[in-house]
Amino acid sequence: MEVSELENMARSAAEEIAALSDAGELEQHRVKWLGGKGLVRRARASIKQYEGDERVEFARRVNRVAEDVTRVLEAAAERIAAEATARRIAEDWIDPSLPSTAPRRGALHPVRVVELRCVEIMGRLGFEQAEGPEVETSYFNFDALNIPRDHPARDMQDTFWVDEQRLLRTHTTSVQARVLARAGGKPVKVVVAGRVYRNEAVDATHLAMFHQLDGFWVDRGLTFAHFKGVAIHLARELYGERRVRLKPKSYPYTEPSVGIDVECGLCGGGGCPACHDSGWVTIMGAGMVHRNVLQEFGYDPDEFSGFAFGWGLSRMTTQMYGLSKLRPIYRGDLRLLRALDGRPALCV
C-alpha cells in the first residue's frame, strides 16, 4: 500500500466520520481503520517492504495517519454522545419549578428525642455521658450495687439470664458501677442512657425491653441539699414551673432514697391517662449513694458522698407526648410516629 493512497483515504474517512450521527456506524469506521484487520494495520505490515530512510519516513507517515484517524474518531464519539444526551433531555424534559416528589425524610424516634433532651440538660450541669454493655455480669448489675443474692430481682421470673454469671442488664445503674470501678477513687459526674430488660408480662404500661436514664455524682462534701437542688432543677427544665414533691422510697443502692413527682398538667375532668387522677406524676427515683456501694469501689464514705437518680425514658416519653399506653411507641407504626414528629415533647 502506498502512503499517498493511505493519506487520501484518511482524508475521505475524516469527512465521512464528521458527518456520522449513529454510534453503530462510527464503530464500523473504527474497525475499518483501527481494527485487527484494518487499513492502518495493513499499512504497518507494508513497512517491511521499504529500506533505510524510506522505511523510516513510511512508518512516520503511517503513524501520523493513525493518530489523525484516532483523533477524528474520538471527536465524533464525543459529539454523537452529546447529541444523544441532548435528545434524551429534550424527550424527557421536566419543569424544575414543579413541586418536588422526593420521599418523606425520616425523623428521630420520640424516645430518642426525650433522651437527647435529658442528656443535653444534664450536660449543662457538667454530667458526662457514659455507656456500658447490655449483656452484663451479675457483679456489676447486682453485687456491686448492694443488691443481695436473696433479692427478688435476681429471680429468673424478673431477669433474663444468659448463664449463671451473665444477664441482660435490668437497669442502667450497672454502668454507674463500671464507672466507679474505673474511677480509682476519684470524683465522677456521669449520665447514662440506654436499653434495659425485665422479664415482665407485657401490658399497656410494661414491656420486656425499655429505655432508662441514670445520673450520679460522687465527690467530697455532697449533701442531700445538693441532690435536691439538682433534682428540682431537672424536673423544672423538663416539665416547666410545676410543683415538685419528694416522697420516701427504698432502693438497695441509695440511702436515704426518694421518689420525685411533678404536678400533673393533664387533669381536667377525670380519667387522666398520665396520673390516673392522683394529680401527680412520678418521674424519677433517687437518693444518696449507699455507703456499701462507695466502699465497694474504694471510696471512704466518711470523706466521699454522692447522689444518684434515674428514670424510665420510655415512660417519660409517654408522659411528655400525652400517650396513655407504652407499647405503641415501640410498634414502629408510622402513623403514630408521623403524628408525633415535630410535636413539642411536653404534654404533662
Run of H or E residues at 39: helix 39-45
C-alpha span between 288 and 177 (Å, rounded)? 15
Rounded to whole angstroms, how far apart are CA atoms 270 and 275? 10
Residue reference for cell 503511517: 62
| CA–CA gap between residue 280 and residue 317 (Å, rounded) | 16
CA-to-CA distance for 257 and 250, rounded, in angstroms?
5
Q: Is 187 helix (H, G, I), strand (E, B) or coil?
A: coil
Grid coordinates representing 330 are: 415501640
What DSSP assignment string belongs to 216-269? EEEEET--HHHHHHHHHHHHHHHH-S--EEEEEEEETTEEEEEEEEEE-S--SS
Q: Determine which helix (DSSP H) or strand (DSSP E) holds 328, and give its type and residue range.
A: none
Phi, psi at residue 282, to the nearest 5°? -75, 130
User: Whats the size of the chain, residue-wise?
Assistant: 348
Measured CA to CA in angstroms, residue 171 lies from 2, 186, 198, 311, 345 at distances of 92, 24, 9, 10, 24
Cα 48 to Cα 147: distance, rounded to the nearest angstrom: 98
d(CA 347, CA 335): 19
Q: What is the distance between the terminal CA atoms of the chain, rounded to a whole angstrom?
A: 96
DSSP 6: H
φ, ψ dihedrals at 105, nearest 5°:
-75, 155
Q: Annotated binding residue at 255?
A: yes
Q: Are 309 and 176 in contact (CB under 8 A)?
A: no
Residue in the structure block whose three cell numbers are 404500661? 205
Question: Binding site membership for Mg(2+): which residues?
Answer: 255
Question: Binding site membership: which residues?
Answer: 255
